[in-house]
Amino acid sequence: MENENFLMFKIHESNGEYLKVTINYAFDSEPTIGWIKKEKEVGTYARNYSPNEPLNFYEEPSFNSKVKMQLNEYLPDFYQILDCKDEWALVKLITEEKTYQGWIEPKMQCANPYTTCN
């Protein structure tokens, strides 16, 4: 279990190249608040587990925004977080066939790689 004690982030805001986060180990640490650089290792997982539940990638962080892309299958891959606004995340996912990028809504994000966020 020691090797699987990964870092968990809660993103509070974005400022240029940095994210203000609460960070702690998943199993055994007190949270710390601070700024981290936006890097490819900061990300989330998708929650579109159901077969008929597509993952929408919006142009802007709003339901009133246009859906620019849609992923119609669940991929248990890591989605890099490029930016955030409120609880929306601007993400990028690169697969063998295609690159997906856009804003995903809060309820479609799951920070834990070992469980579903139902």
Judge whether residue 112 has pLDDT over 80. Answer: no
Which of 67, 57, 63, 116 is CA-nearest to residue 89? 57
Q: Strand 88-94 to strand 109-110: parallel, antiparallel, or no bridges (unpaired)?
A: unpaired
Spell out the domain ranges in the chain: 2-110
Higher pLDDT, 83 or 27: 83
Whether the per-residue pLDDT at 5 is higher than 50: the answer is yes
Quick: pLDDT tens for 57-92. 999 999 999 999 999 998 889 999 999 999 999 999
Mean pLDDT of the chain: 89
Say what the pTM is.
0.86
1, pLDDT greater than 60: no
Fold designation for 2-110: SH3 type barrels. (2.30.30)
The amino acid that residue 117 corresponds to is C
